[in-house]
Amino acid sequence: MCDIKYMQQALALAEKGRGRTSPNPMVGALLVKDGRVVGRGYHQRAGGPHAEVNAIDHAGERARGTTLYVTLEPCNHFGRTPPCTHKILAAGIRRVVVAMGDPNPGVQGGGNRYLQDCGIEVTTGICEKEARTLNEAFITWVTTGRPFVVVKCAATLDGRIATRTGDSRWVTGPAARQFVHRLRHAVDGIMVGVKTVEKDDPSLTTRLDGAAGADPTRIILDTHLSIPPTSKLLQQTSPAPTWVVCGKHAPANRRAALEASGARVVTAALTEGRIDLSALMQQLGEMGITSLLIEGGGMVIGSAFAAGIVNKICFFYAPKILGGDDGIPICRGTGPERMHQSIAVHDLSVLRFDTDVMLQGYLKPSSIH
Known catalytic residue: 272? no
Closest by alpha carbon to 203, among 176, 233, 178, 174?
233
> Is 149 strand, coil or helix?
strand
CB neighbour list of residue 84: distance below 8 Å, 6 or more residues apart: 50, 52, 53, 74, 75, 76, 111
Phi then psi for 187, rounded to 5 degrees? -105, 160
Vertex 64 angle, CA 62 and 66, to 5°? 90
Vertex 146 angle, CA 305 and 299, to 5°? 25
CB 56 within 8 A of CB 87: yes
What is d(CA 191, CA 193) in angstroms, rounded to the nearest whole number?
7
Phi then psi for 357, rounded to 5 degrees? -125, 155
Closest by alpha carbon to 284, among 297, 294, 274?
294
134 vs 15, 16, 103, 355, CA distance in Å? Answer: 8, 11, 13, 27
Tell me which of 52, 73, 136, 295 is the catalytic residue: 52
What is d(CA 235, CA 211) in angstroms, rounded to the nearest whole number?
23
Strands (DSSP E) contained in 172-227 are: 189-193, 217-221
Report, in this order, helix, strand and coil percent for the chain, each rounded to 5.
30, 25, 45
CB 76 within 8 A of CB 107: yes
CA dihedral of 78, 79, 82, 87, whole degrees rounded to 10: -90
What positions carry a catalytic annotation?
Answer: 52
